[in-house]
């Protein structure tokens, strides 16, 4: 393990999380985690944190700790006390969108950052609220046809065409995208990651 290497190993193939790391100028490589992402029977905050930790642990084991920093995140939607993760198929995606139509829901993201040098796992959660427009059957059929529902918590992606379904948000947009920037940056600093010393450009 190269302790001077500031590369973060990202336990996700999510284009949104990759885009956020690129925007922050943080060097990273992608190593998607292969775990059971069924939401555990815990509070929403604890559920996303546990899945994020499991993802981080999975890539630490697979990568045999060749790097120092390992990052994972998990996002879910909460409505009426029910946790919505990634839909299993298009039928479940349609049900999710129908449940969210015309209503406010909460999006919660958990982060886990593992420092292999210190053997420390740091975690945190962030949440935001999203108001959906009242969707017609045509709206839902159109959005399902985009395929964006696949692999997306709550069956939509706000940073893509899913924004057409949203009337307003309250909180961090990056949280809804899957990696809340302020929380992530705070965790990096608390872990001793040299976030202020990365080369620009």
Q: Is the pLDDT of residue 1 over 60?
A: no
pLDDT score at 35: 85
Query: What is the band of 201 on the pLDDT scale with cuts at 50, 70, 90?
Result: very low
* Widest Cα–Cα separation across the chain: 54
Sign of the dihedral through C-alpha 35, 37, 40, 44: positive
Residues in the chain: 201
User: CA torsion sign, 161 to 8 to 121 to 53?
Assistant: positive
Structure tokens at 163: 């924004």
Bridge partners for 75 per DSSP: 109
Q: Quick check: 149 and 90 in contact, CB under 8 A? A: yes
The per-residue pLDDT for range 53-105, each reduced to its tens digit, is: 999 999 987 656 788 999 999 999 999 999 998 999 999 999 999 999 999 99
For 97-131, the pLDDT digits (tens) are 999 999 999 999 999 999 999 999 999 999 999 99
Delimit the domains of the chain by residue range.
8-197
Which residue's structure tokens are 């956020």?
20
Average pLDDT, the chain: 92
Q: Could you tell me what percent of the chain has a pLDDT over 70?
A: 95
In contact, 87 and 146? CB cutoff 8 Å: no
**123 contacts 109 by C-beta, under 8 angstroms:** no
On whether the 8-197 domain is CATH 3.40.50.2000, my answer is no
Which phi and psi angles does 114 have, rounded to 5°? -105, 130
Bigger pLDDT: 197 vs 183: 183
Active site residue 74: yes
User: Which residues, at least 6 apart from 119, have a Cβ–Cβ distance to it below 8 Å?
Assistant: none
Catalytically annotated residue among 5, 36, 74, 115: 74
């Amino acid at each position: 393990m190269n302790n001077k290497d500031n590369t973060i190993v990202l336990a996700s193939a999510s284009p949104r999380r990759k885009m956020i790391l690129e925007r922050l100028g943080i060097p990273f490589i992608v190593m998607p985690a292969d775990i059971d992402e069924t939401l555990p029977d815990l509070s929403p905050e604890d559920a996303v944190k546990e899945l994020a930790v499991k993802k981080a642990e999975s890539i630490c084991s697979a990568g045999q700790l060749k790097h120092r920093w390992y990052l994972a995140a998990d996002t879910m939607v909460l409505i009426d006390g029910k946790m919505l993760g990634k839909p299993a198929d298009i039928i479940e995606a349609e049900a999710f969108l129908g449940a969210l139509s015309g209503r406010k829901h909460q999006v919660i993201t958990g982060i886990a950052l593992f420092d292999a040098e210190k053997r420390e796992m740091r975690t945190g959660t962030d949440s935001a609220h999203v108001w959906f427009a009242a969707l017609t059957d045509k709206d839902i059929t159109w959005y399902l046809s985009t395929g964006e529902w696949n692999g997306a918590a709550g069956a939509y992606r706000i940073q893509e065409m899913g924004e057409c379904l949203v009337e307003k948000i309250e909180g961090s947009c990056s949280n809804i995208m899957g990696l809340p920037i302020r929380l992530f940056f705070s965790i990096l600093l608390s872990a001793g990651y040299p976030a202020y010393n990365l080369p620009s450009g």
